[in-house]
Structure 1
């Protein structure tokens, strides 16, 4: 899946070889107008490429999400720079070409269902949704010829194509207020400056420079998944990219999952991007219910409202004929008991990094709400991190996350001087831990759920969260089982063996950085380095990773790119850097 990811923190696009094949408007979770990634015939796309070329190279400009595509034919070169300008549901494509360029543009509204009405106007083309006032307008500058509303010939020279979506074309690009919108070359300059300034604030790597590219690319992906108007971090910008080609494991991930967003926020905290991390924390705190389950839903829309129901888009054939194509996600019906712990751990990591007493104290009501809920409900069965549909159990990872929620709540309460709360929550955390050690261990190993004997890779998080030491015999037995039973090839692991849909096939990309972080805690630095190298090699040519990795080809599977592996990469590299620094300090003494 050699797609590029473009984002401006409002919406996103996926592009390959000059063709934009995914573009929801006006925001990440909206209906798409270019949907070719989910249906090669009906989906619609926006392609610019030479009529004839011999070589192609795609690369980001620095660590931005601005894509530069270079085509070559003999001694002739064509360069296209593609980006989404800040604050607008728009695509700007700058070109400088010695070769004629063939432009094909077919916007289709509502995920490929509604063909557009078209109108050729001075300097461009208007595409209207016949059922509403919305539409997209294409402004063209340079030496060109409009062959039809869907086809343009660009002649050698410099220029741009500027596509803007408007919910109402009466204030669109060709309206009387069109002059207020971005000027393409200035928008490019502003975006590059913005991206560089943002990433320059990130924590620098001093000891393990070999991972610099995947580290900064992962940071840019997390920042690209942050919806800037609200601070919510989505799990992935796509829907229904399949875990297994031709099968039904296809889901919509364009929402703010509490768990996924907490992981991503922790990565931003550890990378010292504190302002962005605090914005995400603000979003997560804003959806907490102080009088019921803290997080009523496992995920929310990007503006914090309850999630939509799941629907199938039967008119789309799916990525490589993988049906159904889904929008919305039925996981909103699940009661996931681990998410409170994921959030609380991230809030605690934020406090450790910043010592921001005022922020935590002002949000102490949220800590109380979570601790109160977990204290009263941790004994209940639940779905777990893997979101199996129709299955509730006493999952060990989920129980551990209840322990995490109360352990971190107690530490924060103690730091702020709320001694009574701290003592109370410590006692319940101790009770949960004892319960896990009695019921969650079988034959000397942790198991996936009480009463079972299978394992899952989420058990790797037990030492990561400090529930148990990585060198503890029970955990080492668990680690050995994961290595033996879930390993697919060097550095790649399944999340578990089977679920309600049958056997799983491909490795889950987050497991590799989990494993690396365990090895770092065990002092096995070379093993950790090899694992990070393995994940780096399985990223695509632009250093992007999906939720899963094809066991045969190393190609991304599932929604793409995904916050899980990129957050995991950031955290494992930072922990590796800290461990190497600590060992060097000891040696120097």
Structure 2
């Protein structure tokens, strides 16, 4: 992979502790240690032209082609490399994940098995991890069957049955038998490497196939939904339950835009959408872990302001710096570490804490059913939602230089009060239900008064993106999803008509068309296109919605995934990858548009 051919045709692997991205040549080009927001030990994806550092690849002598596929219903990846003389190898990539001695075994480890499948293949192992965000190659020491990479704080050990000298010196050698590589913690590998790695792969395969088997998929687009669901689960840091918005940092939203953000953190908003989508598939394990994470966030806030995002360990300070030694994706820096959005005020997060938590009170499948103490804690969040429903914030698009009272935030705070009223009814708390219902009604009145922008003739109008302005943004489409309006609501229909006129670009949807802190948007925001598809379906434009959904699926990578943004003229993917928002859109639209299972009976 060179700078000119670098793209987002990437294949995620992982185990909910670490994750990696494999490019179309079978090279590991992105992977952080010891977790998703850690030091990018494999950073070639953001290393510009320096493709021989921060990478792990196998170079087949005389290679002419490469092909890839996941083992069905797993994130275990098979890459086939073929040479001009007909010889070929398979590379099997996975991160171990399976139950062992009563616990989930998910080490900080990348496993690679190279299998000769035809002829007499010869290859070179290029294994050059980096440390300190691309600043330097680590020192190494080695033994008969291992190499130690002395990375600060998290040294790694490669255990292998390949000739260690060949690996260290980058020499080409013949592969005559299955060859195993286990890059993990700096400790001796226990047991027979060949047998243990084969057992690990089989156990990992079984875990993911059993997990996928429990998904309540729609009849149509099952493969697409399962792939998105597996990848969303890979975005959860299982130790704490946090869900990151993406596995990468600093893939620009548009070429040279410097809209390069670090998304390896847990946004309350993005996580809400993720658990909502997975709940629709019955993947309650992700919800249960995430609710535990939320309870800790609420406890630590002690009734105060909730931040828009936190680290996967719940850290609140995520100071934004740049990695000076990394050139960036295609050389388009900066590479950012941390995200200054943690300092922002974004009032929609209160609704996004309440909405997923509500399920904890009513879903009898959960291992832990929420109780009255949980309701009292949730009411503290609701109190802040009520207090902030008409206060200015940075909004869900995280404007860095201006604040307004954003309609989406106000509606999310309405949703918080509305759902608290319903939970109170469920718990038999009539007085609390009355209080929260009255507050929801008061917020509705405020939204209808302040967010509605009548036309000059007074006969029509539209909801504005904020109380103060009359510009439109795609988040207004979420008024349907949040049950604030129904599809036949006249005000919504008028708003939808104007959103299509102003923000739709053919098969794509912009977040907004107005200039922001970095100028006018240059790419479409993929989740907004999926919101458009949902609205079309709910407003009796089903055929159009299905056609547009098929078009969006056609833009997916070979791995079946999407990034955050898309060039609305060329269809090229931009932004961090894989993006949870976009995968949520695939799942939600498939569920909404699919034919019923009963149609095949």
Common topology (TM > 0.5): yes
Does 156-165 or 476-485 show the bigger shift?
156-165
1:247 CA displacement: 2.3
Cα distance in 2 for residues equivalent to 1:516 and 1:92: 39
Indicate if the aligned counterparts of 2:362 and 2:369 stay in contact, CA closer than 8 A. Answer: no
Counterpart among 282, 288, 299 of residue 298 in structure 2: 288
Matched, 1:501 2:518: yes
Q: 1:236 to 1:307 in 2, by over 3 A?
A: farther
Q: 1:437 to 1:279 in 2, by over 3 A?
A: same
- Residues 462-504 of structure 1: CA distance to partner in whole angstroms, max 9, x if unpaired? 01111112222221121112211111222x1111122111111
Q: 1:275 to 1:147 in 2, by over 3 A?
A: closer
Counterpart among 306, 323, 327 of residue 313 in structure 1: 323
Counterpart among 95, 109, 116 of residue 138 in structure 2: 116
1:50 CA displacement: 0.9
Indicate if the aligned counterparts of 2:424 and 2:430 stay in contact, CA closer than 8 A. Answer: yes
Where does residue 425 of structure 1 map in the other structure?
A: 436
1:182 CA displacement: 9.4
- Residues 240-286 of structure 1: CA distance to partner in whole angstroms, max 9, x if unpaired? 11111222100111111111111101111111112222211221222
Matched, 1:435 2:446: yes
1:355 CA displacement: 7.8
Note the 1:163-182 alignment, pairs <5 A.
163-166=182-185, 169=186, 172-173=187-188
Where does residue 464 of structure 2 map in the other structure?
A: 447
1:204 CA displacement: 3.1
1:66 CA displacement: 1.0
Indicate if the aligned counterparts of 1:145 and 1:154 stay in contact, CA closer than 8 A. Answer: no
Indicate if the aligned counterparts of 1:2 and 1:541 stay in contact, CA closer than 8 A. Answer: yes
1:367 CA displacement: 2.0
Matched, 1:557 2:574: yes
Aligned residue for 1:499, secondary structure, equals coil
Cα distance in 2 for residues equivalent to 1:106 and 1:179: 25
Where does residue 531 of structure 2 map in the other structure?
A: 514
Note the 1:145-184 alignment, pairs <5 A.
146-147=165-166, 149=168, 151-166=170-185, 169=186, 172-173=187-188, 183-184=196-197
Where does residue 335 of structure 1 map in the other structure?
A: 345
Counterpart among 418, 427, 440 of residue 407 in structure 1: 418
Cα distance in 1 for residues equivalent to 2:491 and 2:418: 21
Where does residue 52 of structure 1 map in the other structure?
A: 62
Aligned residue for 1:393, secondary structure, equals coil
Indicate if the aligned counterparts of 1:290 and 1:369 stay in contact, CA closer than 8 A. Answer: no
Aligned residue for 1:68, secondary structure, equals strand
Where does residue 31 of structure 1 map in the other structure?
A: 39
1:553 CA displacement: 3.2
1:524 CA displacement: 2.2
Q: 1:520 to 1:350 in 2, by over 3 A?
A: farther
Matched, 1:569 2:579: no
Q: 1:355 to 1:199 in 2, by over 3 A?
A: closer
Where does residue 4 of structure 2 map in the other structure?
A: none
Matched, 1:78 2:98: no
Counterpart among 16, 20, 27 of residue 28 in structure 2: 20
Does 379-388 or 157-166 show the bigger shift?
157-166
Aligned residue for 1:157, secondary structure, equals coil
Note the 1:1-16 alignment, pairs <5 A.
1-16=8-23
Indicate if the aligned counterparts of 1:66 and 1:82 stay in contact, CA closer than 8 A. Answer: yes
Cα distance in 1 for residues equivalent to 2:377 and 2:235: 25
Note the 1:177-576 alignment, pairs <5 A.
183-206=196-219, 209=220, 211-289=221-299, 296-349=306-359, 354=364, 358-442=369-453, 443=455, 444-490=461-507, 492-497=508-513, 498-576=515-593
Where does residue 101 of structure 2 map in the other structure?
A: none
Q: 1:480 to 1:57 in 2, by over 3 A?
A: same
Cα distance in 1 for residues equivalent to 2:510 and 2:240: 34
Cα distance in 1 for residues equivalent to 2:195 and 2:420: 46
Matched, 1:126 2:148: yes
- Normalised by the length of structure 2, the TM-score is 0.90
Where does residue 107 of structure 2 map in the other structure?
A: 88
1:234 CA displacement: 0.9
1:294 CA displacement: 5.6
Aligned residue for 1:217, secondary structure, equals helix
Cα distance in 2 for residues equivalent to 1:178 and 1:31: 29
Cα distance in 2 for residues equivalent to 1:367 and 1:133: 38
Indicate if the aligned counterparts of 1:104 and 1:150 stay in contact, CA closer than 8 A. Answer: no
Where does residue 71 of structure 2 map in the other structure?
A: 61
Aligned residue for 1:183, secondary structure, equals helix
Q: Where does structure 1 differ by over 4 angstroms across 4 or more consecutive aligned residues?
A: 177-182, 289-295, 349-357, 580-585
Aligned residue for 1:111, secondary structure, equals coil
Aligned residue for 2:59, secondary structure, equals strand
Q: 1:348 to 1:91 in 2, by over 3 A?
A: same
Q: 1:318 to 1:85 in 2, by over 3 A?
A: same
Indicate if the aligned counterparts of 1:396 and 1:447 stay in contact, CA closer than 8 A. Answer: yes
- Normalised by the length of structure 1, the TM-score is 0.92
Cα distance in 2 for residues equivalent to 1:582 and 1:466: 26
Cα distance in 2 for residues equivalent to 1:190 and 1:509: 35
Indicate if the aligned counterparts of 2:146 and 2:164 stay in contact, CA closer than 8 A. Answer: no
1:52 CA displacement: 1.5
Q: 1:476 to 1:349 in 2, by over 3 A?
A: farther
Indicate if the aligned counterparts of 2:166 and 2:173 stay in contact, CA closer than 8 A. Answer: no
Aligned residue for 1:47, secondary structure, equals strand
Does 192-201 or 43-52 show the bigger shift?
43-52
Cα distance in 2 for residues equivalent to 1:459 and 1:583: 34
Indicate if the aligned counterparts of 2:218 and 2:596 stay in contact, CA closer than 8 A. Answer: no
Cα distance in 1 for residues equivalent to 2:545 and 2:295: 34
Cα distance in 1 for residues equivalent to 2:242 and 2:395: 22
Indicate if the aligned counterparts of 2:274 and 2:584 stay in contact, CA closer than 8 A. Answer: yes
Matched, 1:140 2:160: yes
- Residues 335-386 of structure 1: CA distance to partner in whole angstroms, max 9, x if unpaired? 1100111232223356565486932545212321111111222221111111
Where does residue 103 of structure 2 map in the other structure?
A: none
